[in-house]
Structure 1
Amino acid sequence: MTHPAPKGAIPDTPLFDRDASIRGYRMNKMAMALGEPANRDAFRDNEEAYLDRFGLSTEEKAAVMARDWHEMVRLGGNLFFILKISAVDPVPITQIGAAQAGMEHGAFLAQRLGKV
């Protein structure tokens, strides 16, 4: 069931609510499991097999494997959980911020942090 956007909602910004939490449960559980060293090793060794252990859908797997942060959030990923994936790669948090803002990383750094 889709609910109307709450008052003051930011356009094109997924809301992490109960529905998103339920929708993203498998992906969030997978990401949280990356807190264990053995799981990080399994993720690095065979990412697709690791994702299959948690029953991720084809769409969820594609988003994780592409490191499509915006899509993971749209699919119900809790940003605090999916950031664990960035610790395995590692991916700079500013790169994730740029993806969430729909910006190129360099432009994001320039606009948000005044860096060129």
Structure 2
Amino acid sequence: MGGEPDRIPDTPLLDRERQLRGYRMNKMAMGLGDPANRAAFKADEPAYLDRFGLNEEEKAAVLSRDWKEMVRLGGNLFFILKISAVDPVRITEIGAHQAGMDHESFLRDRLGKKV
């Protein structure tokens, strides 16, 4: 990306440039609200991603469920969370991944939960 670097370490800012870059990924994720699209995604994820024109970097992030990378590539967290509903993945697991922590540590250290 050619814009100003992120100003908060390890936190990609969802600015206009990143939003435009993530359009295809966000459109794909929003489509998962439709049961037929969820079924198509489950049946053949790469083919479903190709329908939306995702590039190789975006496809790799989605296929590996690299939540942090999806956000860095312009994925709006509210949209890409629809992917987690297909697997399903708990939002706290995504938070742990974003923070670079294991789930138990995240629950204990970030959310104050007794594990």
Instruction: Give structure 1 regions of 4+ aligned residues with deviation exceeding 3 angstroms.
Output: none
Alignment of 1:27-38 (within 5 A): 27-38=25-36
Q: Which residue of 2 aligns with 1:16?
A: 14
- Supply the AA of the counterpart residue of 2:57: E
Amino acid at match of 1:107: S
- Cα RMSD of the aligned pairs, angstroms, is 1.0
3-state SS, counterpart of residue 42 of structure 1: helix
For structure 2, the 5+ residue unaligned runs are none
Counterparts of 2:91 and 2:23, CA distance in 1 = 23
**Closer, same or farther: CA 70–4 of 1 in aligned 2, 3 Å:** closer
Aligned to 1:3: 4
Equivalences for residues 75-90 of structure 1 within 5 A: 75-90=73-88
Alignment partner of 1:107: what SS?
helix
How high is the TM-score relative to the length of structure 1? 0.93
Q: 2:110 aligns with which of 92, 109, 112?
A: 112
- Alpha-carbon distance in structure 1 between the residues aligned to 2:10 and 2:92: 19
Amino acid at match of 1:25: Y
Matched residue pairs, number? 113
Cα deviation for residue 10 of structure 1 reads 2.3
CA distance in 2, matches of 1:115, 1:52: 42
The Cα of 1:4 is off from its aligned counterpart by 4.6
- Cα distance change on mapping 1:4 and 1:74 into 2, 3 Å: closer
SS of the residue aligned with 2:13? coil
Paired residue type of 2:4: H
**Which digits, 9 at most, give the CA deviation of each residue in 1:8-34, with x for residues without a partner?**
x42110000100111101000000000
Q: Name the residue aligned to 2:52.
A: 54
Task: Determine what percentage of the aligned residue pairs are the same residue.
Answer: 73
Q: Aligned AA for 1:115?
A: K
Structure 1 letter corresponding to 2:114: K
